[in-house]
Chains A and B, each alone.
Chain A
Amino acid sequence: MAVIELRNVRKFYGSLEVIKGVDLRVEDGEFAVFVGPSGCGKSTLLRMIAGLEGIDSGEFLLDGKRMNEIAPDKRGIAMVFQSYALYPHMSVAENIGFSLDLKKVPKPEIRRQVEAVAEILQLTEYLDRRPAALSGGQRQRVAIGRAIIKKPAVILFDEPLSNLDAALRVQMRAELQRLHRDIGATAVYVTHDQVEAMTMADRIVVLNGGKVAQEASPITLYHKPDNTFVATFIGSPRMNLIPVQLSRPGNGLVRLTSQAGWSIDLPEPSPALPAGPARLGIRPEHLKLAEGSDRDFEAEIAVVERLGVETYLTVGSLSDPFMARVEGDVAIRPGDRVGFAVDRRACHLFGADGVSAHRA
Chain B
Amino acid sequence: MAAPHAQNPSKRRGAELGAYATLSIISIFCAIPFFWVLLASIDGNASLFLQWPRELTIDNYVRIFVKEDGTRWLLNSLFVVGTATLIVMVLAGLGGYALSRTRAWWKRPFLYTILLIRVLPTTALIVPLYKVLLTANNGLGTVLREIFGNGPARQILRYVGFIDGYLGLILVLATMQLPLALWIMKTFFDTVPRDYEEAALMDGATLMQRIRRVLIPLALPGLGAAGLFAFISAWGDFLLPLILLSSPELQTLPLGLFRAFLRVNTIDYGFLAALAFVYLLPAVIAFGFARRFLVQTFSGGVKG
A and B touch in the complex (CB under 8 A): yes
Give chain A's interface residues, CB within 8 Å of chain B: 50, 52, 72-73, 77-79, 81-85, 87-89, 98-99, 102-103, 146, 150
Q: Is A79's CB under 8 angstroms from B199's CB?
A: yes
- With CB as the reference atom, state the residue of chain A lying closest to B214: A87
A160 → B minimal CB distance (Å): 12
- With CB as the reference atom, state the residue of chain B lying closest to A80: B199
Q: Does B139 have its Cβ within 8 Å of any Cβ on chain A?
A: no
Q: Does B193 have its Cβ within 8 Å of any Cβ on chain A?
A: yes
Most chain B CB within a 10 A radius of its CB, from A50, A88, A102: A102
Q: Does B202 have its Cβ within 8 Å of any Cβ on chain A?
A: yes
Q: Is A146's CB under 8 angstroms from B198's CB?
A: no
**Contact flags B5-38 to A (C-beta < 8 A → 1, else 0):** 0000000000000000000000000000000000
Can you sample 16 A-B contacts with CB below 8 Å?
A50-B198, A52-B198, A72-B201, A72-B202, A73-B204, A79-B202, A83-B193, A84-B195, A85-B196, A85-B199, A87-B196, A87-B214, A98-B200, A98-B203, A99-B203, A102-B204
Partner of B205, one of A81, A82, A102: A102
Q: Does B209 have its Cβ within 8 Å of any Cβ on chain A?
A: yes
Contacts of B203 in A (CB 8 A): 73, 98-99, 102, 146, 150
Q: Is A85's CB under 8 angstroms from B218's CB?
A: no
Bound complex: CA of A89 vs CA of B192, how far in Å? 13
Bound complex: CA of A72 vs CA of B200, how far in Å? 10
Within B199-235, the residues touching A (CB, 8 Å) are 199-205, 209, 213-214, 217-218
Chain B's interface: helix, strand, loop or mixed, by majority? helix
- With CB as the reference atom, state the residue of chain B lying closest to A81: B195
Contacts of B205 in A (CB 8 A): 73, 98, 102
- With CB as the reference atom, state the residue of chain A lying closest to B195: A85
Bound complex: CA of A115 vs CA of B205, how far in Å? 22
- With CB as the reference atom, state the residue of chain B lying closest to A86: B199
Q: Is B209's CB under 8 angstroms from A85's CB?
A: no
- With CB as the reference atom, state the residue of chain A lying closest to B210: A102
Q: Is B195's CB under 8 angstroms from A88's CB?
A: no
Partner of A77, one of B193, B202, B217: B202
Partner of A85, one of B198, B204, B213, B217: B198
- With CB as the reference atom, state the residue of chain A lying closest to B209: A102
**Contact flags B258-297 to A (C-beta < 8 A → 1, else 0):** 0000000000000000000000000000000000000000
Contacts of B199 in A (CB 8 A): 79, 81, 85, 87, 146
List 8 additional contacts besides A52-B201, A73-B203, A79-B199; criterion CB under 8 Å: A52-B198, A73-B202, A77-B202, A87-B196, A87-B214, A88-B218, A98-B200, A98-B203
Bound complex: CA of A304 vs CA of B90, how far in Å? 64
Most chain A CB within a 10 A radius of its CB, from B196, B198, B199, B202: B202
Contacts of A102 in B (CB 8 A): 203-205, 209
Contacts of B193 in A (CB 8 A): 83, 85
Bound complex: CA of A132 vs CA of B200, how far in Å? 18
- With CB as the reference atom, state the residue of chain A lying closest to B205: A102
Contacts of A83 in B (CB 8 A): 193, 195
Contacts of B195 in A (CB 8 A): 81-85
Most chain A CB within a 10 A radius of its CB, from B193, B195, B217: B195
Q: Is B217's CB under 8 angstroms from A89's CB?
A: yes
B128 → A minimal CB distance (Å): 38
Bound complex: CA of A351 vs CA of B202, how far in Å? 45
B143 → A minimal CB distance (Å): 43
A114 → B minimal CB distance (Å): 13
Bound complex: CA of A19 vs CA of B198, how far in Å? 21
Bound complex: CA of A72 vs CA of B197, how far in Å? 12
Bound complex: CA of A291 vs CA of B203, how far in Å? 64
Within B50-86, the residues touching A (CB, 8 Å) are none
A244 → B minimal CB distance (Å): 47
Q: Is B202's CB under 8 angstroms from A89's CB?
A: no
Bound complex: CA of A102 vs CA of B213, how far in Å? 10
Q: Is B201's CB under 8 angstroms from A89's CB?
A: no
- With CB as the reference atom, state the residue of chain B lying closest to A77: B202
Most chain B CB within a 10 A radius of its CB, from A50, A73, A84: A73
B212 → A minimal CB distance (Å): 11
Contacts of B204 in A (CB 8 A): 73, 99, 102-103
- With CB as the reference atom, state the residue of chain B lying closest to A50: B202
Bound complex: CA of A242 vs CA of B3, how far in Å? 55
Contacts of B209 in A (CB 8 A): 102
Within B164-203, the residues touching A (CB, 8 Å) are 193, 195-196, 198-203
